[in-house]
Structure 1
């Protein structure tokens, strides 16, 4: 077995623990992608309301807003493997209740929304543990390639799974497709159990209490706010998430009313799959981008591309133009996401990994995603689908402007954590 020339570790594709961690993420991503297409369609068909459909995107981001800080402290305190497995099993029960209720004839819009919320809440705790588990498995020097391997194949799934789900929706009720997500959580739990590496470092913490957890949360938040690079990446993540959530919240009525492709079939699936193409390219290019440019510079180069592509998507009525622009938007958007995650993991000390990463995700994804979904649903009622799309996606321009005025403009390297 050959080893990495710089770290002495086996290549990632031969690292058994990384393969299991990678598998856990991929099967979970595949199931989640099915839900990402099927759940808003389910709510849209049950209610016929764009505003209620937008709530699907809201319940995806709201758990991070509510539980992000606490989940990071919990993940840094408890055994990360146990947190991940319990979260997977609870998610399987929550999302699996939807097809069961459908078969029993008692499914309602609110049941579907609550199940989506509970599932995402469980994932927040899973994510907090996973952010710390990955450096424990691969080491800090291999975080860039590891994240690209995880997100790159995830982007391949982004490409194929939504299109497949769109085709299946022509023959199957969307509630039945959610059973796939339930099975994926069970498979993820099994893969995590099989990881041999220790996923948590030694802990010397006071007995758990509300005060102790609050103190630990404050330490993580203070690190994030004091670190110029992590702080700037978090603000950019907030603005990008707000913009992306606005699009996703209105994506079903956008495809139906503005592009005229309906809510099923290959063209409907292609609207979602276009992001996957962009994600695959981003995962391929981002490690090369990091070798040529510092991570702050890579973020600054991708932001204007993301802003322009998003505006094209929001303003066009052409299916072909929308898909092409969405690919470009996906490349730039995912490049920023990958860079931000890797930067934060490399810059954060081990004992703070869960808190800092979930705090960053809470502020960028939780607050940003929730605000974007709420804003899109509210503005759609005032300006219509097109007006709301343009308004919310324009926030990407603000992200680019902020980035070029932020400390990222002068930062060159990732500071090594103490």
Structure 2
């Protein structure tokens, strides 16, 4: 047990380092592209490029991660991320950085992350055991949400005075640190099974798809989660233009941008404290039913707000509701899914919910924003998709009759 706890500590620190780097990139890349182009369309393209790899590679990554050594796969992907990200500050220093280069880097790093994430979904239950998965995931989520609360604000402050391209070197360093920590784990993170040709991978993919579709609660949570991701994709794609054009918060030399980037992280950490109490009293299904319309209402109020302080307060509420929806779905999947299907099932659900929803929301939001000249219109398109998800959840009998509870 002591060895497992020590390895879990290494795993936890590796994930914290990875999240720090990912959050720095999530703030720096849109700001960088907006500074280069002044275009909501290019800014949306970065967000879409970061989410699209899950749609393209999610099924393959999940099937592969259930068969190979997950630790080796995660280490390799960390090193790929470090190498690709270093190209941005190097080309920037040479004076040749362009928006297409930044978009290509966003796509490449997130492609590596898809394979990393697929291995990660199966690694944690294997490392700690299913009986400890809720406590382990809660610890992991608590640590990473602190990062998501603090780092966006700090990054927003830094990009106000430092070129965002140079910050991507930080992400490269954190990726290397994560790789070294993961490499030092001695406990098994998988039971590798040889890949016997492409046909075997295809069969594995189909098995994962069948599980997601045939488990009714996972199916409905994945479908409504997709509409939620459309909304979050539109919001993240248009946050910088919305701050600039609607709230008067400039993407450069304005510390208020740091506060706006911190709101969802603060909402997520509040949700991590509230969720166990809510689910123990009402059950996960009822909490999910009410969290969806709460997220929709918060998003509508954000669009209607016109002052950055009011927007921050409302965005925190939006972050609380959104995090409740996301954590609910993830923990339920990991509790009911067999170990040998963990990577496939979780990446399949994430591919549909996030890999399809997030880039779709970013693309639609960006297109509408460019066509109308108003970033609020693009966010409204995302909220319309979430309205469809709310209706679907309440019309479907699955969540209303289910009384599933997380084992917290």
TM-score interval, normalised by the smaller of the two chains: over 0.9
* 1:410 is aligned to 2:401: yes
Unaligned runs of 5+ in 2: none
Q: What is the RMSD of the two structures over their aligned residues, measured on CA atoms? A: 1.8
Say which SS state the counterpart of residue 196 (structure 1) adopts.
coil
* 1:345 is aligned to 2:340: no
Structure 2 equivalent of residue 174 of structure 1:
164
For 2:57 and 2:91, how far apart are their aligned partners in 1?
A: 27
Say which SS state the counterpart of residue 66 (structure 2) adopts.
helix
Shift of 1:159: 1.8
- Relative distance call for 1:293 and 1:147 in structure 2 (3 A) is farther
Range with greater deviation from structure 2 (68-77 or 388-397): 388-397
* 1:377 is aligned to 2:366: yes
Among 245, 249, 259, the residue aligned to 2:233: 245
Runs of 4+ off more than 4 Å: none
Among 25, 50, 56, the residue aligned to 2:46: 56
Shift of 1:202: 5.7
1:354-394 per-residue CA deviation (whole Å, 9 max, x = no partner) reads: 11110001000000011101111111122321222222223
* 1:189 is aligned to 2:179: yes
* 1:325 is aligned to 2:314: yes
For 2:282 and 2:129, how far apart are their aligned partners in 1?
A: 21
Unaligned runs of 5+ in 1: 1-8
Structure 2 equivalent of residue 313 of structure 1:
302
Q: Is the 8 A contact 2:66 2:192 kept in 1?
A: no
Q: How does 1:206-217 map to 2 (within 5 A)?
A: 207-217=195-205
For 2:184 and 2:204, how far apart are their aligned partners in 1?
A: 30
Q: TM-score, normalised by structure 2?
A: 0.95
Q: How does 1:18-417 map to 2 (within 5 A)?
A: 18-201=8-191, 203=193, 207-264=195-252, 265-383=254-372, 384-406=374-396, 407-413=398-404
Q: TM-score, normalised by structure 1?
A: 0.93
For 2:6 and 2:403, how far apart are their aligned partners in 1?
A: 34
| Count of aligned pairs | 404
1:142-174 per-residue CA deviation (whole Å, 9 max, x = no partner) reads: 222222222222222222111111111122111
Q: Is the 8 A contact 2:232 2:358 kept in 1?
A: yes
For 1:415 and 1:151, how far apart are their aligned partners in 2?
A: 15
Q: Is the 8 A contact 2:361 2:382 kept in 1?
A: yes
Q: Is the 8 A contact 2:55 2:356 kept in 1?
A: yes
For 2:21 and 2:309, how far apart are their aligned partners in 1?
A: 27
Q: Is the 8 A contact 1:144 1:287 kept in 2?
A: no
Shift of 1:252: 0.6
Shift of 1:303: 1.3
Say which SS state the counterpart of residue 380 (structure 1) adopts.
helix
Q: Is the 8 A contact 2:279 2:405 kept in 1?
A: no
Q: Is the 8 A contact 1:314 1:393 kept in 2?
A: no
For 2:287 and 2:185, how far apart are their aligned partners in 1?
A: 33
For 1:143 and 1:412, how far apart are their aligned partners in 2?
A: 20
1:71-111 per-residue CA deviation (whole Å, 9 max, x = no partner) reads: 00010010110111001000111111101111122211111
